[in-house]
């Protein structure tokens, strides 16, 4: 008995074990959160107690004095420590993927190497700095675990893992993090146990070499530098990423990460942020274009001074980007049993209507949102990019900032999850003072599970009445009611259901048109309310894209080429409760619309707004695929024409505004 006591001794009063105590406290924290986040069940209790038992056993083992084991480990320290250093990157790789529940074995087989290389970089870098195997494993494992923890938290809060642009807006992320509830999954517990096991085992290793000669440190640093240079060159200066990753999903990065691994997916997103400069671009050329347009606009304003009719006070502005809002008549002559847009068609007085061209079809809402708010067309950005996800990483000029500089209070409303397209992070950077999402609606009216347009517009009225003393108001409302996922189910009564007269088998189109009729009713109610208001108000309604429901109609069209153009047409309508000149605009693209709205409202614009309106007069439509001249002739972005120079110049200005963060000409994108 006495021999056993000497052989096994629990050491707890030694400062050397402070990290172990911290890990023990962290394990108890995980245990308590996991146990209390849901109603307690037998399975949950068993899992929690199992985690606590294993983690306690591992950490207690760190403080067990086993002389025979310590002697053996000290004798073979170099080989044992080296073995654990070799396997640590692989265990870290498994730990990271386990935490987010990525058990894609095909990913491990096909792309494991391209992930593992980066874990080796981390451990190798630490070793080159401190030349201590034991500390290298502990520090590397804990750092990777902490990074994985951040990735996990972003994943559960937003439904997507962390991407490079998130690192540039971490302060904004922290400011909204308090609104989310912390929770742990079984996968998180398993990943934590991998970290604790590696930590505990490594903690028991023996340090064999105490002092390292300078030449060995220099050799380690030099070999690491060569390895790192090779890795960075291979990933960022060759076609490795393009050859291995077929599609980088910027909308839902979780799919890229699960298919190719967290680190490889992150690196691929990082590489994608490096947009190439347009040929011939320079900061000076972009400035020349902006200054010229601004000066010509000022001269024109002075020439027609006093001839423009504007309200005596700044109008409140209400902009509604209605989900999948699209008039079927814009793509063809289709008869329906009842009119699905009677209220909008009835608007004539003090109304401007027209056709808006966007860059997307059936989805990618935020692309149109970005084009409208910033004036930057998707034509100036890398193809397939998602600017909200990738490029809005600092305070950015927009319609909201321009209005804010003129005393407006800006309110964004989106009756769905605030994390979609990172709006909770992006909207503050775009100049919005307040963001209202689904959690701010109490017992809302819904259709198909989505908060209805009627409810969304009621929130506008509610905030309008509450904010009259704040000065002029700007509302930007992105609706949700008509989101995709259409079926042939009849949602409303026979009298309220819209049907195609001459086509059968398009029940999902009928459902969409019936939803559109509900949107029209809600918009009619909004107009009726603001007709009664004395303060000047302008309301702009437009669609973000056509619904995916129209795909079947395009499939039966005989001429495919015009169909490709028609896919990007949506209606817009501007109405004011005071006198404005009625008009119909044949074609305008989303990147011009906010500048047009500023001009209509008699408000100041930036030099960039002046540039855009000047370009609009020559090229009224430009999107990610094509552009139109003022005679409505269509050109692809790649073909040569008399407008190619203007398109290239727009790319210069757009690149400077959206992508060239170091040389950005900020003074031309904000009011002087």
Task: Please tell me the predicted confidence (pLDDT) of residue 366.
Answer: 87
- Counting Cα atoms < 13 Å in the Cβ hemisphere of 74 gives 7
Residue 224, Cβ neighbours under 10 Å: how many? 17
Please report which helix (H) or strand (E) contains residue 618, including its range: helix 607-618
pLDDT tens, residue by residue, 378-407:
988 887 778 888 888 889 999 999 999 999
Task: Please tell me the predicted confidence (pLDDT) of residue 580.
Answer: 93
Q: Is the pTM of this model over 0.75?
A: yes
* Radius of gyration of the chain from its Cα atoms, rounded to whole angstroms: 30
Rounded distance, CA 499 to CA 507, Å?
Answer: 8
| Six token digits for residue 80 | 């044992």
**Mean pLDDT score, 200-214:** 74
pLDDT tens, residue by residue, 478-514:
999 998 888 888 888 888 888 888 878 888 889 999 9
Contacts for 182 with CB less than 8 Å, ≥ 6 apart: 33, 37, 153
Q: Is the pLDDT of residue 11 over 50?
A: yes
What are residue 436's DSSP bridge partners? 413
| Six token digits for residue 245 | 């990753």
Q: Calculate the CA 466 to chain-centre distance.
A: 30
Rounded distance, CA 294 to CA 606, Å?
Answer: 8
Q: Tell me whether residue 638 is exposed, middle or buried, using C-beta atoms within 10 angstroms of its C-beta: 0 to 12, 13 to 18, 19 or more.
A: exposed
| Six token digits for residue 21 | 């105590």
pLDDT tens, residue by residue, 177-193:
655 677 888 999 999 99
Rounded distance, CA 275 to CA 661, Å?
Answer: 12
Q: Tell me whether residue 114 is exposed, middle or buried, using C-beta atoms within 10 angstroms of its C-beta: 0 to 12, 13 to 18, 19 or more.
A: buried
CA terminus-to-terminus distance, the chain:
85
Burial annotation 530-539 (CB, 10 A radius, 16+ → b, else e): beeeebbbbb
What are residue 321's DSSP bridge partners? 478, 542
Q: Do 570 and 326 meet the contact criterion of CB atoms below 8 Å apart?
A: yes
pLDDT tens, residue by residue, 145-178:
999 998 898 887 767 788 776 776 555 556 556 5
Q: Do 629 and 623 meet the contact criterion of CB atoms below 8 Å apart?
A: no
Task: Please tell me the predicted confidence (pLDDT) of residue 515.
Answer: 93
Task: Please tell me the predicted confidence (pLDDT) of residue 67.
Answer: 63
Task: Please tell me the predicted confidence (pLDDT) of residue 3.
Answer: 45
Task: Please tell me the predicted confidence (pLDDT) of residue 560.
Answer: 59
| Six token digits for residue 254 | 């979780």
Strand bridging mode 351-357 / 569-576:
antiparallel
| Six token digits for residue 346 | 């009835």
Determine which of 27-41, 84-98, 354-368, 549-563 has the lowest per-residue pLDDT on average. 549-563
Q: Calculate the CA 305 to chain-centre distance.
A: 43
Rounded distance, CA 333 to CA 204, Å?
Answer: 78
**Mean pLDDT score, 650-664:** 91
Q: Is the pLDDT of residue 6 over 70?
A: no
Q: Give the pLDDT band of residue 308 (cuts 50, 70, 90).
A: very low
Q: Do 545 and 319 meet the contact criterion of CB atoms below 8 Å apart?
A: no
**Mean pLDDT score, 357-365:** 86
Q: Do 547 and 486 meet the contact criterion of CB atoms below 8 Å apart?
A: yes
Residue with tokens 């085992």: 201
Determine which of 5-14, 416-425, 450-459, 478-487 has the lowest per-residue pLDDT on average. 5-14
Q: Do 482 and 516 meet the contact criterion of CB atoms below 8 Å apart?
A: yes
DSSP 63-132: TEE-HHHHHHHHHTHHHHHHHHHHHHHHHHHHHHHHHTT---HHHHHHHHHHHHHHHHHHHHHHHHHH--
Range list of β-strands (E), 565-665: 569-576, 583-589, 621-622, 626-628, 634-636
Burial annotation 308-343 (CB, 10 A radius, 16+ → b, else e): eeebeebbbbbbbbbbbbbbbeebeeeebeeebbeb
Domain ranges of the chain: 2-272, 287-304+314-668
Task: Please tell me the predicted confidence (pLDDT) of residue 339.
Answer: 92
Rounded distance, CA 612 to CA 599, Å?
Answer: 12
Task: Please tell me the predicted confidence (pLDDT) of residue 305.
Answer: 61
Fold (CATH) for 287-304+314-668: Alkaline Phosphatase, subunit A (3.40.720)
Q: Is the pLDDT of residue 71 over 80?
A: no
Q: Give the pLDDT band of residue 242 (cuts 50, 70, 90).
A: confident
Q: Do 380 and 647 meet the contact criterion of CB atoms below 8 Å apart?
A: no
Determine which of 123-137, 247-261, 325-339, 434-448 has the lowest per-residue pLDDT on average. 247-261
Q: Is the pLDDT of residue 312 over 50?
A: yes
Determine which of 71-80, 83-92, 284-293, 532-541 has the lowest per-residue pLDDT on average. 71-80
Residue 476, Cβ neighbours under 10 Å: how many? 27
Task: Please tell me the predicted confidence (pLDDT) of residue 494.
Answer: 85
Task: Please tell me the predicted confidence (pLDDT) of residue 154.
Answer: 82
Cα-based distances in Å from 45 to 60, 155, 182, 186, 316: 22, 25, 18, 12, 56
Task: Please tell me the predicted confidence (pLDDT) of residue 470.
Answer: 82
Task: Please tell me the predicted confidence (pLDDT) of residue 13.
Answer: 56
């Amino acid at each position: 008995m006495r021999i056993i006591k000497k052989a096994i001794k629990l050491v707890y009063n030694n400062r050397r074990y402070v990290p172990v105590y911290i890990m023990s406290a962290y394990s108890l924290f995980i245990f308590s959160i996991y146990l209390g986040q849901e109603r307690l069940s037998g399975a949950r209790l068993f899992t929690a107690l199992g985690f606590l038992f294993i983690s306690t056993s591992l950490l207690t083992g760190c403080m067990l004095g086993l002389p025979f084991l310590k002697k053996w480990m000290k004798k073979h320290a170099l080989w044992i420590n080296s073995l654990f250093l070799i396997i640590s990157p692989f265990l870290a790789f498994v730990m990271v993927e386990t935490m987010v529940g990525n058990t894609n074995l095909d990913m491990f087989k096909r792309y494991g190497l391209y992930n593992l290389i980066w874990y080796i970089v981390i451990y190798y870098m630490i070793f080159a700095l401190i030349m201590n195997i034991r500390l290298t494993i502990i520090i590397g494992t804990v750092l990777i675990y902490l990074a994985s923890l951040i990735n996990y938290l972003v994943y559960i809060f937003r439904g997507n893992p962390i991407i490079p642009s998130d690192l540039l807006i971490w302060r904004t992320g922290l400011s909204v993090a308090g609104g989310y509830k912390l929770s742990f999954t079984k996968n998180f517990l398993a990943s934590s146990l991998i970290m604790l096991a590696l930590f505990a085992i490594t903690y028991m290793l023996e340090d064999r070499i105490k002092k390292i000669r300078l030449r060995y440190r220099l050799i380690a640093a030099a070999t690491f530098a060569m390895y790192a240079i090779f890795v960075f060159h291979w990933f960022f200066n060759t076609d490795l990423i393009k050859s291995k990753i077929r599609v980088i999903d910027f909308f839902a990065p979780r799919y890229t990460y699960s298919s190719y691994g967290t680190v490889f997916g992150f690196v691929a997103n990082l590489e994608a942020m490096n947009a190439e400069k347009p040929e011939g671009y320079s900061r000076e050329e972009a400035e020349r274009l902006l200054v010229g347009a601004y000066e010509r606009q000022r001269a024109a304003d002075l020439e027609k001074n006093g001839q423009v009719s504007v309200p005596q006070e700044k109008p409140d502005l209400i902009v509604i980007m209605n989900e999948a809002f699209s008039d079927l008549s814009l793509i063809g002559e289709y008869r329906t049993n009842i009119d699905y847009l009677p209220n909008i068609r009835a608007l004539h007085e003090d109304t401007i209507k027209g056709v808006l061209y966007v860059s997307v079809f059936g989805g990618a809402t935020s692309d149109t949102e970005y084009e409208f708010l910033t004036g930057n067309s998707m034509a100036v950005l890398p193809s397939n990019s998602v600017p909200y996800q990738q490029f809005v990483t600092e305070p950015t000029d927009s319609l909201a900032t321009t209005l804010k500089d003129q005393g407006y209070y800006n309110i964004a409303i989106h009756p769905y999850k605030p994390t979609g397209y990172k709006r909770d992070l992006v909207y503050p950077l775009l100049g919005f003072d307040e963001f209202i999402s689904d959690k701010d609606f109490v017992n809302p009216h819904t259709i198909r599970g989505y908060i209805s347009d009627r409810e969304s517009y009621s929130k506008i009225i509610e905030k309008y009445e509450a904010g009259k003393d704040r000065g002029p108001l700007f509302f930007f409302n992105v609706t949700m009611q008509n989101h995709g996922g259409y079926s042939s189910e009849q949602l409303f009564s026979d009298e309220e259901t819209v049907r195609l007269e001459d086509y059968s088998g398009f029940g999902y189109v009928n459902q969409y048109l019936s939803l559109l009729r509900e949107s029209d009713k809600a918009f009619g109610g909004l107009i009726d309310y603001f007709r009664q208001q004395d303060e000047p108000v302008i309301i702009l309604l437009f669609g973000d894209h056509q619904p995916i429901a129209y795909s079947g109609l395009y499939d039966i069209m005989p001429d495919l080429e015009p169909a490709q153009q028609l896919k990007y047409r949506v209606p817009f309508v501007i109405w004011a409760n005071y006198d404005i000149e009625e008009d119909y605009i044949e074609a305008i693209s989303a990147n011009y619309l906010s500048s047009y709205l500023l001009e209509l409202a008699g408000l100041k614009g930036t030099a960039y707004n002046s540039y855009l309106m000047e370009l609009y007069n020559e090229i009224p439509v430009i999107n990610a695929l094509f552009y139109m001249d003022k005679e409505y002739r269509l050109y692809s972005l790649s073909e040569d024409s008399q407008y190619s120079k203007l398109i290239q110049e727009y790319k210069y200005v757009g690149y400077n505004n959206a992508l060239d963060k170091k040389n950005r000409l900020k003074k031309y994108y904000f009011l002087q």
